Amino acid sequence: MQTIEQNGNGTTDKDTLYMLGGIALVVFGVGLILSNPTIRKYMGEIGIGGLAQNIVPDVERYFKLRAM
């Protein structure tokens, strides 16, 4: 049986592997979504600045709820 040793901060190498694997899947998923021509057209119309302006109020509400 293999033993899993914890690092100094309480995490294991397995946790780090899962986290990096999750990040890789998110990046891959975003790439698949953005490769769709319809989505690219829609993103071109909105622009990154417009998208950021629409997201900021939702993020602020999330942090207020989390602080409760």
Which one is predicted more confidently, 66 or 20? 20
Contacts of 40 (CB under 8 A, 6+ apart): 34
Average pLDDT over residues 19-28: 95
Contacts of 12 (CB under 8 A, 6+ apart): 4, 5, 6
Distance CA 68, CA 19 (A): 27
The count of other CB atoms within 10 Å of the CB of residue 60 is: 10
What's the pLDDT score for residue 55? 81
Q: Is the separation of the CB atoms in 22 and 29 below 8 Å? A: no
What's the pLDDT score for residue 33? 87
- Quote the mean pLDDT of the chain: 80
